[in-house]
Structure 1
């Protein structure tokens, strides 16, 4: 995570640290520490910051394309984030500069992608690679086994739950990016 990127996005919107803190319900001190690289924010704090700045979450980690409109994301240079509870980890497989976000997620047994279902302006498709997931979308539950997928409007409150005994691995494609 690049605190300078958050500072740049905030400044481009003419927001002060105090205004961003108020919009995110996070202390101005924490925002300042994040921007200076002195603190690593939680996934929930990053989501609040991305919403307040009206950018997809992974834009806080934006990478420039190599050239010619083609981006290659090497395995050892993928952006990774983990939730504060460490239930879920995401790595970004797309470059973060287009209209499509591709994420690989790992969700531990008994874990959930968020404490409560949440929404954001995009659509997404989740594909289970290993294990099993429950996609909870607008209060309905959809059981997904290895190889199954679920496509939905992300404006509907949603989250992923791992009710199994093994780590669940999955791919999410979202367009436009809005995590």
Structure 2
């Protein structure tokens, strides 16, 4: 991922310092990310993607898209949130018009500090536990096996107010995190 960020930054004519300043992070962090010496948080990746004017998960796209792609569980891309206690692994291969993510939200955690939006459609399926999906300020409580579909252009986030972790699956089209 670091090489991809470096390539995108240089294609846009940005210096390392310019990208760092625009993303609100240190130049040292960007340098470490570009050299694959640091794993950036989900929030840092969102900021970098916004500066580069890209959907977040396009930073993870594979350059050579296969017609049939197998994603091995032990080879999935992992993304963590710095504060919310959420982790995502990419189930889909990282190219195409559909993104599939497996998420885990720790007790008391949230997918984002504040609801946010992106130009997609999204569906979440609870695999284990209880999940609250907040869309436009309205909370929708989901139990294991329940799903929720919504327009991701509406401000949204996922919450786990319970005492146990919740596992869920997200599909988004087009990918635009």
TM-score, normalised on structure 1?
0.92
Task: For residues 21-71 of structure 1, give each alpha carbon's deviation from its aligned partner in whole angstroms, at most 9, with x where no partner exists.
Answer: 23211122221221122222111101111122122222222224564x111
Equivalence map 1:1-179=2 (5 Å): 2-64=1-63, 67=66, 69-85=67-83, 87-179=85-177
CA 1:24–1:53: 2 relative to 1, 3 Å: same
Secondary structure of 2:30's aligned partner: helix
Aligned length: 177
SS in 2 for 1:4: helix
Structure 2: give runs of 5+ residues left out of the alignment. Answer: none
Query: Counterpart of 2:93 in 1: which secondary structure?
Result: coil
Paired with 2:27 and 2:19, the residues of 1 have a C-alpha distance of 8
Q: Which runs of 5+ in 1 are unaligned?
A: none
